[in-house]
Amino acid sequence: MTDPLLSQRLADVRGGIIDAARLAGRSVDDITTVVVTKFQPVSLVSELIELGVRDFGESRHQEAQAKATELAGSGIRWHFVGQVQGKKARQIRSYASVIHSVDRDSLVTGLASPVPDASVPGASVPDGSVPDTSVLDCFVQVNLTEDPARGGVSIPDLAPLVERVIAAPGLRLLGLMAVAPLGADPKRSFALVSELGSQMRGIAPDARYLSMGMSQDYAAAIAEGATHLRIGTAITGNRPAAVNLKTS
Ligand SMILES: *Cc1c(COP(=O)(O)O)cnc(C)c1O
């Protein structure tokens, strides 16, 4: 059984995405909607799976890991959209299909595959475990504000970080991610991200995706070329009270 209000909100947002894509002359097939379920119970994720959702976003490692464990085998993809603590990077890599929030060099090192130590004959990886040959998709998050606490790399530091990611073993750069700053015109913010994305393709030609657009501003994001929307409350309804606690 699924909540009729939940399926209604999902249908409304899907309709809104179709409308915005049509207005922008874009195909909805080029737009992935990640439903952000942070702070929501795993039962809500299960209901959304029944309604056909396959891409889910989480922003806190412990919560994401618990949900991923509980729903293992359900064929869904987890997108990590929150700030990543360096020491959790490898664990996040183990269940996430996509990380949207790569924002510093040290994190690239933490997320990249360990490479075999060529100086040791017969060595696999430094800790002796089986080499990890999987590829993790990621976005570099750009900070459009002056506040470093918001997460994301500053615009002047963007190109060097993109170079680091494309050189890192086991990481595939999809493109750029951003959150529109509060109080700014989201359309202008997303146009800037799109422009930065075009510039980055000079050094990373395959990084053509843009993760931008949330509940309040996804239509503007679609107009500016978003390929990955991260939508929470417009679909899930309000988050439980814990959302007011400062977490990451
Ligand atoms: C929570 C969150 C979202 C979803 O926000 P809504 O306003 O609920 O749609 C999107 N992106 C990130 C990075 C988030 O933390």
Q: pLDDT tens across 75-128, in order?
A: 999 999 999 999 999 999 999 999 999 999 999 999 998 765 556 555 555 566
User: What's the domain count of the chain?
Assistant: 1
In a domain, 108, yes or no: yes
pLDDT in tens, 34-59: 999 999 999 999 999 999 999 999 99
What is the domain range of residue 43?
A: 4-113+133-236
Asked if residue 228 is part of any domain, the answer here is: yes
In a domain? residue 122: no
Residue 211: count of CB within 10 angstroms of its CB: 29
Tallying the residues shown for the chain, one arrives at 248
CA proximity to 108, closest of 176, 178, 149, 164 = 164
Rounded to 5 degrees, φ, ψ at 39 are 70, -5
Residue whose token pair is 């999902």: 10
In a domain, 221, yes or no: yes
pLDDT score of 113:
83
Q: What is the pLDDT at residue 243?
A: 46
- Please report whether residue 243 resides in a domain: no
218: CATH: 3.20.20.10
Q: Which residues of 148-185 are buried (b: 16+ CB within 10 A; e: fewer)?
A: eebbbbeeeebbebbebbbebebbebbbbbbbbeeeee
pTM over 0.75: yes
pLDDT of residue 134: 84
Which residue owns the Cα nearest ligand 1 atom 12? 81
Taking 70 as the threshold, does the pLDDT of residue 245 lie above it? no
Site to substitute for ligand 1 among 214, 229, 248, most atoms within 8 A of C-beta: 214
- Indicate if the pLDDT at residue 1 is higher than 90: no
> Which candidate, 126, 88, 91, 118, places its Cα nearest to that of 106?
88
Cα of 208 to ligand 1 centre, how many Å?
Answer: 22
126 domain-assigned: no
- 216 CA closest ligand 1 atom index: 7
Instruction: Examine residue 245 and state whether it is found in any structural domain, yes or no.
Output: no
Atom of ligand 1 nearest to the CA of 231: 9
Instruction: Report if residue 127 sits inside a domain.
Output: no
**Percent residues over pLDDT 70 in the chain:** 90
Give CA separation, 35 vs 98, 137, 175, 237, in Å. 13, 17, 19, 11
